[in-house]
């Protein structure tokens, strides 16, 4: 198994030139549509904490990272002009207070005209003279970070770039595979820590050690939830003490390779019983849904079908009674499963473009009554997305059913029995193929 995450990875080195060609073509098309001659992609800068000289953790502009695997290079620029070698203005400040970026190194360097800038005010010297022919892509925290360019993130340009990011190049697919393998190593370590009876904080530490990433380097804050905490969809509090009685464990955690993210969720029961059986049922449901993923499928329909399947799981587990369509229509399934089925995945965890129907920016709304679905597109080959159905005992949502016709559908005694376990989510990262999927997550766990 290749787990080389460095710039020496031979697979990434071989795939990168083709990826860069695809990015160049994307930007050539974007400049033509926007009527501009040059694209300036700014890596971004860390924000400053209010009333302090400390900064928030730096998160790079994903458009910058799509050009080159530079996730820790703030205040730098890529200047693209069609027909010319892209210019990388590499900000390497003279600073003895902090560690500064080292010399440019790696498989990507041969593809850029690299120019070192030791001070921020040197960056603008490397830009085209006619700034009115430029478009800036990135976050500008103040006027100095626009470099005299007036057209910042124009809508026509952003729409085109975001729509194009929906499908991945071979290089991006390999980064995502590696990120998944890295994340799975963390999941294995976290499960072992859970079975040792450790606290949430210690499980999190075991995960970070296994993936060799700090908290700030993770693609998102880990969800490490024991027992009832698994019913909080974005639980990130991390108790320092282990509970007196450990029953269940939900972990939603990913890793990153060159800025590309994995997003994996698993749920475990410490002992056999009704909750363990429910996990098995949800795992089977999730795999059935993954089995329907292929090019040409409307993801909205998959989400709605998941609700019908959740209804069957609820009745089989004795949590509810009634026909699937009735349980969906009356809001019972939504009370147990309130989030969307999944989202696009890439250089951002919730990758952009999930609602877009074309590069002009027209969008597709989620189905009525399902506002939290983040992906509404018809699936295309080489999209990468998550499939993550869930089932939870969330008191405030279930209480809304009381007093309505749906109240009689719910087995409240069974709800009370399962409430101490929190909930279940199973999430895989999959690549869409013409006739099915490549399941990055299951493949990584098998390895």
> Is 70 in contact with 60 (CB distance < 8 Å)?
yes
- The pLDDT value recorded for residue 170 is 98
Residue 347 has pLDDT above 90, yes or no: yes
**Cα–Cα distance, 234 to 249 (Å, whole number):** 14
> Is 262 in contact with 428 (CB distance < 8 Å)?
no
The sign of the dihedral angle between the CA atoms of 42, 43, 48, 54 is: negative
> Is 229 in contact with 200 (CB distance < 8 Å)?
yes
pLDDT in tens, 116-167: 999 999 999 999 999 999 999 999 999 999 999 999 999 999 999 999 999 9
Question: What does the block give as tokens for 318?
Answer: 């004795």
> Is 428 in contact with 386 (CB distance < 8 Å)?
yes
- The pLDDT value recorded for residue 4 is 67
- The pLDDT value recorded for residue 406 is 96
- The pLDDT value recorded for residue 1 is 43
Strand partners, 48: 55
Considering the segment(s) 170-446 as one domain, its CATH architecture is Alpha-Beta Complex (3.90)
Q: Which of 433, 185, 172, 160 is nearest to 292 (CA)?
A: 433
**Cα–Cα distance, 311 to 328 (Å, whole number):** 7
Q: Which of 261, 170, 168, 179 is nearest to 443 (CA)?
A: 179
Tell me the percentage of the chain whose pLDDT exceeds 70. Answer: 98
- Which residues, other chains included, contact 417 with Cβ-Cβ below 8 Å and sequence gap of 6+? 274
- The pLDDT value recorded for residue 2 is 47
pLDDT in tens, 208-222: 999 999 999 999 999
> Is 77 in contact with 42 (CB distance < 8 Å)?
yes
- The pLDDT value recorded for residue 76 is 98
Predicted TM-score (pTM) of the model is: 0.96
Residue 13 has pLDDT above 50, yes or no: yes
Region(s) of the chain under CATH 3.90.230.10: 170-446
Residue 172 has pLDDT above 80, yes or no: yes
pLDDT in tens, 101-118: 999 999 999 999 999 999
CA-based max dimension of the chain: 72
- The pLDDT value recorded for residue 64 is 98
Residue with tokens 């010319």: 84
Mean pLDDT throughout 224-237?
97
Residue 82 has pLDDT above 80, yes or no: yes
- Which residues, other chains included, contact 83 with Cβ-Cβ below 8 Å and sequence gap of 6+? none
Residue 259 has pLDDT above 80, yes or no: yes
Three-state helix/strand/coil letters over the chain: CCCCCCCCCHHHHHHHHHHHHHHHHHHHHHHHHHCCCEEEEECCCCCECCCCCCECCCCCCHHHHHHCCCCCCCCCEEEECCCCCCEEEEECCCCCCCCCCCCCCCCCHHHCEEEEECCHHHHHHHCCCCHHHEEEECCCCCHHHHCCCCCECCHHHHHHHHHHCCECCHHHHHHHHHHHHHHHHHHHHHHHHHHCCCCHHHHHHHHHHHHCCCHHHCCCCCEEEEHHHHHCCCCCCCCCCCCCCCCEEEEEECCEECCEECCEEEEEECCCCHHHHHHHHHHHHHHHHHCCCCCCCEHHHHHHHHHHHHHHHHHHCCCECCCHHHHHHCCHHHHHCCCCCCCECCCCCCCCCCCECCCCCCECCCCCCCCCCCCCCECCCCEEEEECCEEECCHHHHHCCCCCHHHHHECHHHHHHHHHHCEEECEEEEEEECCEEEEHHHHHHHC
pLDDT in tens, 288-345: 999 999 999 999 999 999 999 999 999 999 999 999 999 999 999 999 999 999 999 9
Mean pLDDT throughout 60-83?
98
Region(s) of the chain under CATH 3.40.350.10: 10-164
Mean pLDDT score of the chain, rounded to an integer? 96
Please report which confidence band the pLDDT of residue 432 belongs to, taking 50, 70 and 90 as the band edges.
very high
Residue 6 has pLDDT above 90, yes or no: no
Region at 158 (left for phi over 0; alpha for psi -120 to 50; beta for the rest) = alpha
- The pLDDT value recorded for residue 217 is 97
Q: Which CATH number fits domain 10-164: 2.60.120.560, 3.20.20.370, 3.40.350.10, 3.40.50.460?
A: 3.40.350.10
């Amino acid at each position: 198994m290749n787990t080389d995450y460095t710039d020496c990875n031979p697979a990434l080195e071989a795939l990168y030139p083709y990826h860069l060609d695809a990015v160049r073509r994307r930007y050539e098309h974007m400049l033509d549509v926007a009527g501009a001659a040059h694209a300036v992609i700014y890596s971004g800068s860390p924000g400053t904490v209010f009333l302090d000289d400390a900064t928030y953790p730096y998160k790079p502009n994903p458009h910058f990272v799509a050009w080159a695997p530079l996730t820790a290079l703030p205040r730098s620029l890529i200047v693209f002009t069609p027909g010319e070698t892209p210019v990388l203005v590499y900000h390497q400040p003279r600073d003895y207070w902090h560690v500064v970026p080292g010399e440019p190194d790696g498989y990507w360097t041969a593809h850029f005209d690299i120019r070192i800038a030791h001070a921020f005010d040197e960056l603008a010297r490397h830009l085209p003279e006619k700034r009115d022919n430029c478009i800036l892509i990135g976050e500008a925290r103040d006027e100095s970070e626009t470099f005299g360019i007036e057209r910042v993130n124009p809508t026509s340009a952003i729409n085109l770039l975001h729509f194009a990011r929906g499908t991945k190049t071979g290089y991006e697919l390999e980064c995502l595979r590696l990120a998944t393998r890295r994340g799975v190593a963390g999941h294995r370590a976290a499960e072992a820590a859970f079975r040792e009876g450790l606290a949430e904080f210690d499980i999190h530490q075991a995960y970070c050690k296994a993936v060799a990433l700090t908290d700030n380097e993770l693609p998102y804050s880990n969800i490490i939830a024991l027992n009832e905490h698994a019913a909080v969809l974005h639980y990130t509090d991390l108790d320092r003490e282990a509970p007196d009685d450990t029953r269940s464990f939900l972990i939603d955690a990913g890793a990153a390779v060159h800025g590309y993210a994995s997003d994996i969720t698993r749920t475990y029961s410490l002992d056999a019983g009704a909750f363990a059986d429910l996990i098995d049922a949800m795992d089977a449901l999730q795999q059935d849904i993954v089995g329907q993923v292929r090019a040409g499928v409307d993801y909205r329909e998959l989400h709605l079908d998941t609700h019908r399947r959740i209804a069957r799981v609820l009745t089989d587990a004795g949590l509810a009674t009634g026909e699937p369509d009735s349980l969906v229509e009356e809001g019972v399934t939504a009370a147990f499963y309130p989030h969307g089925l999944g989202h696009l995945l890439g250089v951002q965890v919730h990758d952009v473009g999930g609602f877009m129907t074309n590069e002009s920016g027209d969008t597709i709304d989620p189905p009525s009554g399902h506002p939290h679905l983040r992906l509404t597109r018809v699936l295309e080959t080489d999209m990468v997305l998550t499939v993550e159905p869930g089932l939870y005992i969330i008191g405030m949502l279930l209480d809304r059913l009381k007093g309505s016709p749906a109240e009689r559908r719910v087995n409240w005694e069974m709800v009370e029995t399962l409430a101490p376990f929190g909930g279940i989510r199973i999430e895989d990262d999959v690549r869409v193929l013409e006739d099915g999927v490549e399941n990055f997550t299951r493949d990584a766990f098998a390895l």
